[in-house]
Structure 1
Amino acid sequence: MASTARKTYTWPRNYLTRRLQTSSDVIQRIQEAWQRDIMREFLAEFMSTYVMMVFGLGSVAQKVLGGNNYGTYLTINLGFGFGVTMGIHVAGSISGAHMNSAITFTSCVLGQTPWKKLPVYTMGQCFGSFLAAATIYGLYYGALMQYTNGNLTVTGPRATAGIFATYPAPHMSLWRGFIDELVLTAILQLCLLVITDKKNSPALKGTHALVIGVAIITIGLSLGMNTGYAINPARDLPPRIFTSIAGWGNEVFRARDNWWWVPVVAPTLGAFVGAIVYLVFIGNVNRLQNQNDQPEQAYSLNDNPRST
């Protein structure tokens, strides 16, 4: 007669130990992957750009959706300026907190950042900017629907696409807007080099983030009327793509004579022009390159202490 007694399975003595060891190895490998410089720099650009854009786009949303009760043109500039300041504090010691693909491109041209990092930084900036646009859309969704009655438009009295991306003023033509963005970004790049050039008259140690934020505010207050001063491809294109997906449609690309490409191309050229102007009149390439060998770290948009 066959035995009907229940058979019990005995786990090997070292089974749990092996499982824990395997889990520990997996966790360690994940930690090692996250700690690699290239990944840390990607995440640093992602987070710093996200912080900058949340503050910046949020200030625009409050002005547009809340009227003068919750914002003015001044508060928009303060939002972007201090957003840049906080972004630099988030990632300045890791990636340099460029938060601007035009600045990253020029930093590569000057030899401050290796070219292999250009796509890494740019992707981090674009993903951070896109997610920031999605965040502001979610946070202000109710106010957005109330303000527009559910009709999301790019132009007109209830236009809201400008919360996320820049559009030129009615008096601006396409090519005048191109020149405007080029000049403004050149001025930004010139200011950044002035602020971070240790062999000139840089900002005091520990004040770079604040001074750069003030520079952004100054550009906006004095020169921002014509085009909304994108001065950063990563600030404009990813949120524009988001709006095309979120309900505004392809009009965000067709509006104002297909304006969308200007905030991408003009700032990239403008940053390069600004660097050339600074090098010709003030500095030299070797001086800027050698700054990365100095022990003192400057928390700035383009003086990258981790550029190896």
Structure 2
Amino acid sequence: MLKHRALRVRNALVRECMAEFLGTFVLLLFGCAAAAQVKTSRETKGQFLSANMAFSVGVMSAMYLTKGITGAHLNPAVTLSFCALGQVRWGRLVPYCLSQLLGAYMASGLVYLVYYDAIMEFSGGVLTVYGPNETASIFATYPSEYMTLGRSFLDQVVGTGMLMLCILCLSEKRNTPAPSGLIPVIVAVIVLGISMSMSANCGAAINPARDLGPRLFTLTAGWGTEVFTCYNYWFWVPLVAPPVGGLIGTFMYELFIDWHLPDPGEPDGLSVLSTISDKTKQPSTTWDNESKVAHF
């Protein structure tokens, strides 16, 4: 124990950045590895849903891993939203985001090494963004060919907005909070739901680090500048739209839910439905005249 204490990092910010780095690394390792397996096997070893589920497992695993240190943001849009809520200091924003970005970059590199032979066999040794043998989408997200920039932006705003709207209530004690130990599982299910319902258009990045980190890796690993110039310079959409969506989802939660929740011990805050529910739980003293059995 004393040896462990001697190795403990003293600086709180450094500890938190280490956690965000490792958490995002785990998230991207699960997700991108699944995408590589599905694509390079030509869907003989998994399907589109496989990557969605793997990213969700990655979210859950990374949250259990790092939740006790930073709360497991794993996403610059989430960090920005918590800063806007005043739950995280603004001075943490840039260090957290850079740590998340680096974690995503390093995870992409490891996936590339693990699946190097499969990627080369699938692509014929030509690393491209377009065509039936493209492999860039293993790492970063790209839009469907029918998508416009404006519609792509809306897609990412809606997806990230739903993410923040649905996770902000999970630890709210004035509402119906989830058990703390189950929050990572619930967040993973929320991410899975978003991926299953909103990934056809643009891949459901909903996370700037998840997209930019792998995109930077593909730039340096041989795919070239096309990863940034393709689809009319689409790369900025998953970089800018998720933070906007996260702030919108956060504001919607505050406007429609948080501002209207009762203060602790405030009886007037009970809703009609919860009041009725409480009354139905109380035993009735009505007796059946014939059987003389109380109904509860």
**TM class, shorter-length:** 0.7 to 0.9
Deviation at 1:204, TM superposition (A): 2.2
Q: Which residue is equivalent to 2:233?
A: 258
**CA distance in structure 1 between the partners assigned to 2:160 and 2:5 by the alignment:** 41
Contact 1:48/1:99, CA 8 A, preserved across alignment: yes
After superposition, the CA RMSD in angstroms is 1.9
Contact 1:164/1:240, CA 8 A, preserved across alignment: yes
Number of matched pairs? 261
Q: Which residue is equivalent to 1:292?
A: none
If the length of structure 1 is used for normalisation, what is the TM-score? 0.81
Among residues 31, 48, 65, which one is paired with 1:90 in the alignment? Answer: 65
Deviation at 1:194, TM superposition (A): 2.2
- Counterparts in 2 of 1:99-248, with a 5 A limit? 99-248=74-223
Secondary structure at the residue paired with 1:94?
helix
**Aligned partner letter, 1:55:** F
Contact 1:77/1:221, CA 8 A, preserved across alignment: yes
Deviation at 1:195, TM superposition (A): 2.0
**Aligned partner letter, 1:54:** L
If the length of structure 2 is used for normalisation, what is the TM-score? 0.85
Contact 1:110/1:285, CA 8 A, preserved across alignment: no
Q: Name which structure has the greater RCO, CA cutoff 8 Å, separation 6+.
A: 1
Residue 284 to residue 70, structure 1, CA distance change in 2 (3 Å): same
Cα displacement string for residues 271-307 of structure 1 (whole angstroms, at most 9, x for unaligned residues): 00000001000003999xxxxxxxxxxxxxxxxxxxx
Q: Which residue is equivalent to 1:297?
A: none
**CA distance in structure 1 between the partners assigned to 2:227 and 2:171 by the alignment:** 36
**Aligned partner letter, 2:28:** M
Contact 2:211/2:239, CA 8 A, preserved across alignment: yes
**CA distance in structure 2 between the partners assigned to 1:202 and 1:29 by the alignment:** 34
Q: Which residue is equivalent to 1:17?
A: none
Q: Which residue is equivalent to 2:290?
A: none
**CA distance in structure 2 between the partners assigned to 1:61 and 1:231 by the alignment:** 20
Cα displacement string for residues 200-228 of structure 1 (whole angstroms, at most 9, x for unaligned residues): 12222310000000000010111111110
Q: Which residue is equivalent to 1:35?
A: 10
Structure 2 residue runs without a partner (length 5+): 263-296
Percent sequence identity over aligned pairs: 41
Q: Which moved more, 1:278-287 or 1:56-65?
A: 278-287
Deviation at 1:40, TM superposition (A): 0.7
**Aligned partner letter, 2:191:** I
Secondary structure at the residue paired with 1:195?
coil
